[in-house]
A and B are shown apart, each in its own frame.
Chain A
Amino acid sequence: MSLLEARSISKSFRGLKAVANASLEVPQGGIVALIGPNGAGKTTCFNMIAGVFAPDSGEILFGGKRIDGLRPDQICVAGIGRTFQIVKPFAGLSVLDNVIVGAFNRTKHLSEASRSASDILDRLGLGPKRDLPASSLTLPDRKRLEVARALATRPTLLLLDEVMAGLRPTECDLMVEVFRELNAKDGLTILLIEHVMRAVMALARHIVVLHHGEIIARGTPQEVVRDPAVLECYLGEETEV
């Protein structure tokens, strides 16, 4: 059974169709990547799933229940954690306190929230920086903090919005390893938007390609990278020289 199912969702902004009749499924325990050129509507899709705005039409089911139209906090409580493409750290708080805020989603007690936040920071390699103010972190660390905060809410589905952007290849591989482990050991289901193909190819078992708000291809990574429609939207149409 699929954990997340979006059935022909659409969203327009003042007549501009950002997403049109897009359907996608994320199976329980799966890792699905949503790719596409800039402006394809990937983040709009994410925002509809995460409750930032409701789809104009279509429906979104999570664990069999409709979640379209719910507020972002209700969706987080339901078990969907998300990161932001443009990172939004709580700049004035320490790294640890940032993650504790997320951990409070599943507990009322500071000691428990603090413990689970520390564990997550260690897992993401941010342990030594826990007492620094979040404002002092570098961009790669801020991306990691986004992930740590989302993980602290203990989601069953994690939405990652370009967390690899700006990371060096070695850092990227480390992140991939973390997500693989979370997926294999903790059974975390992941839906990611990503431009870094190195990460997409290493992580995703299934890829959905979005172009001009419409889904133009879907399949395994190997299938998708050979799909003429995908090549066309990324590289342009093949012409005789």
Chain B
Amino acid sequence: MSDLFVYTLRLGDDALIAAQRTAEWIAAAPQLEEDVALGNIGLDQLGQARSLLQYAGSLEGADRSEDDLAYFRDERDFLNLQLCELPNGDFAFAMARLLYFATYQQLLYDELRAAADETLAGVAGKAVKEVAYHVDHATQWVLRLGDGTDESHRRMQAGLDALWPYTAEMFESDELVRRLAVAVDPSTLRDEWERRVYAVIDESTCSRSEASYQHTGGRSGRHTEHMGYLLAELQHVARSHPGATW
């Protein structure tokens, strides 16, 4: 497996698993406009995942399509962040996750636009404009809920706190990203990410979260107990009817 293949898979899996969780909100969001908004956000994430997994498949040279990579790999083969796979929780939890993840994606894609790899730069150049809307959406909700009623504030704070122990994994650097010239070393994004996220949290009247423990493992295929269930739902139609088209 080449470094570029693994790196592209990481980016693609983040987007795919995030899309799956976002899509679960459709028809379950607190209002109709939100169903539509989250549907659109999930579609953006899925579009990014498709481009990235398609590219990963071509890099691997094993004739695997984007569908093969999405539907016929097992849990340990997925390299996404654990942040992306956690179950949805309440709406405040979803908005906390979107704030953390979309801000990270925005910084990452912005750097990746200048990458020496034409395809990755192309995907990033497209995606960076889309995730700006995701960040904006999450920001508006975190402000509204945090600076809202006692109950909405309590829930927003709980969402921000619950996900904080999963944020450090986004910025983990390893041999692969240091070796691979086209990769963005995510550790370089941390300061700016904190600056942006803290600005929103402070304005929302919530307090900055602290965590003594940070989860890790997604990049090497170690996932939370929720990942298997997520994949079962994502993959069961394709696996029950291999080769089916519609």
Specify whether A and B are partners: no
Contact residues of B with A, CB < 8 Å?
Answer: none
A residues with a Cβ closer than 8 A to B are none
